[in-house]
Amino acid sequence: MLLAESSAHGRKEFEAEERIISRLKHRNLVQLLGWCDNHKGLLLVYELVTEGSLDRHLYSKDGKYLTWPQRYKIILGLGSALHYLHGEWEQCIVHNDIKPGNIMLDSSMSTKLGDFGLARLVDHDTGLLQTTKAVLGTVVYIDPEFVNTRRPCTESGVYSFSVVLLEIVSGRRPVMETAGKSFTLVRWVWGLYGRNMILGAVDERLRGDEANDRWMVRVLVVGLWCAHPDRSKRPSVAQAMHVLQSDEVRLPALALHMWTVPDPTSSSGPYEAFSIDSSTCSSSCARSSLVNTDAASLSSGSSSTALLRHSKGLV
């Protein structure tokens, strides 16, 4: 990967970040092996990941598709990588560009999250960035509030995680178009949830096995939870993983309709922005380090079995 960082300041910042990223050791992260400098810029050297990106497999045009067990394995691997970055390592890392194109797959179809070009350090105690360099990831995966604040934090990473979860289960791009009108995948899935039709969001090629359907509904609801318009009501990655990994943990109770607050400064076109007042992302990293979630906090929610029965018109 070639980075165009030619100034002395840019080089110093790059070297400091490279030293940190090279120390990250996790089975679900692409390992940075080193870097070099040539006349064109700075070059990062990563381990070879043989099966390419999730994007390539999810939207394959050759008739092949990922099975549900493969997709679920990828989801858990991505969640594990993000939990490590947000709360398990000595410093909090916000990736800032989580998307299928940056999620690589190895020979066993295990997740390898890569491309840390936009990653930033966040202080565990204050939740504040340790660098002032402006960052902006891929627009359809960006937390709408980040567009307004330009302050990345773990909650913005959780939002990106949510979009990828919905993509993996639905097999659909994050922005769709019908009758010439664009709308987001998050809004579409939330609309189905509100009408007790959430099973309709599942990739048609995966439907038919009730045991799998139940888990896919669970992932979709957790995806919506992670996309909550109010940052403060989103789970940490650890909390989301707690619900994703056990069908005995009740799902969160969400509003039947997603709400938006128009951003008067936005020129986002088909993307409807919403803004919620927030001056800092304080304590977000500390919150993300929670490994065990109190199941009682989710007890008022629904089970995936009940939602599945509603989706099929059985109740």
- Going by C-beta distance under 8 Å and a sequence separation of 6 or more, which residues neighbour residue 2? 40, 41, 42, 43, 44
Is residue 45 assigned to a domain?
no
Assess whether pLDDT exceeds 60 at residue 275. no
Q: Alpha-carbon distance 315 to 307, whole Å? A: 10
* Tokens of residue 35, six digits: 């870097």
What is the C-alpha separation between 132 and 13, in angstroms, rounded? 11
Over range 233-256, report the average pLDDT.
95
Q: Does residue 192 fall inside a structural domain?
A: yes
Q: What is the pLDDT of residue 2?
A: 47
307: in domain: yes
How is residue 111 written in tokens?
Answer: 């997740």
Does a structural domain hold residue 44? Answer: no
What does the mean pLDDT of the chain come to?
78
pTM of this prediction? Answer: 0.79
Helix or strand or coil: residue 177? strand
Q: How many domains does the chain have?
A: 1
| 58 belongs to a structural domain | yes
pLDDT > 50? residue 38: yes
Asked, for residue 33, whether it belongs to a domain, the answer is no
Which whole number is the average pLDDT over 296-306?
57
**Which CATH number do you get for residue 132?**
1.10.510.10
Residue 310: the pLDDT is 59
The predicted structure's pLDDT at residue 9: 60
Q: Which of 97, 115, 143, 203 is catalytic?
A: 97
175-208 pLDDT, tens digit each: 988 778 888 999 999 999 999 999 999 999 999 8
For 85-106, the pLDDT digits (tens) are 998 887 888 887 899 999 999 9
Question: Higher-confidence residue: 292 or 104?
Answer: 104
| Average pLDDT rounded to a whole number, residues 197-220 | 95
Q: What is the pLDDT of residue 289?
A: 38
**Whether 89 contacts 151, CB under 8 Å:** no
Task: Among 123-137, 154-168, 299-313, name the most confident range.
Answer: 154-168
Distance separating alpha carbons of residues 151 and 129, to the nearest angstrom: 8
Q: What is the pLDDT of residues 50-82, one digit of tens each?
A: 999 999 999 998 889 999 999 999 999 999 999
Q: Is 70 exposed, middle or buried (0-12, 13-18, 19+ CB in 10 A)?
A: middle
Give the per-residue pLDDT at 267.
Answer: 41
Q: Classify residue 244 as exposed, middle or buried by CB count within 10 Å of its CB (0-12, 13-18, 19+).
A: buried
Encode pLDDT of 104-127 as tens digits: 999 999 999 987 765 565 554 544
Q: Tell me, what's the pLDDT at 240?
A: 98
CA gap 225, 249 in Å, rounded:
14
Residue 46: phi and psi, rounded to 5, are: -110, 165
Q: Within a domain: residue 214?
A: yes
Q: Is 97 a catalytic residue?
A: yes
Residues 147/170, Cβ–Cβ less than 8 Å: no
* pLDDT > 70 fraction of the chain, expressed in percent and rounded: 70
Q: What is the pLDDT of residue 297?
A: 45
pLDDT at 6: 52
Range of the domain at 59: 51-311
pLDDT of 284 higher than 60: no
When comparing pLDDT for 119 and 266, which is higher? 119
- Whether 268 is in a domain gets the answer yes
Higher pLDDT, residue 283 or 104: 104
Residue 170: the pLDDT is: 97
